[in-house]
Amino acid sequence: MFDTASVYGNEVHIKNAFSVLLPKYGLEREDIFITTKLYHGGGELTEKACQQSLDNLGVDYVDLYLIHFPGSAKIPADDKRNREMREMTWSKLTELYDDGRMNALGVSNFTIRHLKDLMKCNHGVVPAVNQVEWHPYYHQNSLYKYCKANDIVLQAYCSLGGTSASNTALLNDPVVVRTAKKLEATPAQILLVWALQQDIAIIPKSITPERIKENFSLNFKIPDEDMKALQQLGENNVKYAWDPSIIA
């Protein structure tokens, strides 16, 4: 799986990597899963941005296309035009979905309020995924329940805490470290399994081969008492990434 976004500025680099690696390993387009994200939307801008991402990636379709954020840098956070923009964007995306430019549609950083607004005018297409910040320091049980009830997959980013490799507070948390020692795992593996045991999809990233292997070695279960202890770390509500709740 490859998770990217127009705002990351690396879609073309991914295309270049595909052109080398897919033939090298005998893989076809259908063998990989590509997610990318729309940063700004509304009307015709949505189609233009989507096609630009497809061209950048060198593909005819993506497997999952997400609205990256419920607001726009060009609209004040408390402006009701944010809601109108989301509605216009989703309307256009459903047309592109019907046109075969993506296999599934979803959102990112949407709160329950944003999701409810969208569900009222979803044009018959329910978001397949809501990609949000999710880790033991910050997890939203009400959002979890809402997505479960509406068959929306929650997908976690910042699973290991922080937005950079230098922020290791969660990885070094005594509860996480203690659980890792008990289960003979790494702190990172504990955090990933903690999410998976709640049916939260994960997209950990690493450029280190050994850590990539670790991220795939998650065939163990965290006991209930340890899951509860990890869950309680969220009482301080430590958030690392942007706050979408301020968007109207």
- The per-residue DSSP string of 174-207 comes to HHHHHHHHHHT--HHHHHHHHHHTTT-EE----S
For residue 44, the model assigns a pLDDT of 79
Cα–Cα distance measured from residue 47 to residue 51, given in angstroms and rounded to the nearest whole number: 6
Mention every residue, 6+ apart, whose C-beta is less than 8 A from residue 89. 38, 41, 42, 43, 46, 67
Q: What is the mean pLDDT of the chain?
A: 94
Strands across the sheet containing 2-3 = 2-3, 34-38, 64-67, 105-108, 129-133, 153-157, 201-202
Question: What is the per-residue pLDDT across 22-58, written as a single tens digit (0 to 9) for each?
Answer: 999 999 999 999 999 998 777 779 999 999 999 999 9
Alpha carbon distance 1, 103 (integer Å) = 14
Read off the pTM: 0.93
Domain ranges of the chain: 2-246
* Whole-number Å distance between alpha carbons of 116 and 112: 6
Check residue 237 and give its pLDDT.
Answer: 86
Q: Does 63 score more than 60 pLDDT?
A: yes
Residue 53's H or E segment, with its range, is helix 44-57
Structure tokens at 143: 């959002």
- Give the residue, 168 or 198, on which the prediction is more confident: 198
What is residue 73's DSSP assignment?
Answer: T
Report the chain's C-alpha Rg in angstroms.
19
pLDDT at 165 over 90: no
pLDDT for the residue numbered 40: 75
Q: How many residues are present in the chain? A: 248
- Can 8 be counted among the known catalytic residues? yes
pLDDT at 167 over 70: no
Is residue 188 within 8 Å of 177, Cβ to Cβ?
no
Strand stretches in the chain, DSSP E = 2-3, 34-38, 64-67, 105-108, 129-133, 153-157, 201-202
**Res. 168: pLDDT tops 80:** no
> Does the domain formed by 2-246 have CATH 2.120.10.30?
no
* Residue labelled with tokens 């320091």: 137
* Residue 135 assigned as binding residue: no
Tell me the percentage of the chain whose pLDDT exceeds 70.
98
Question: What is the token pair recorded at 55?
Answer: 């061209």
Q: Give the separation between CA 89 and CA 121, rounded to whole angstroms.
A: 11
What is the DSSP pairing of strand 64-67 with strand 2-3?
unpaired
Q: Give, to the nearest 10 degrees, the angle between helix 112-119 and helix 141-149.
A: 20
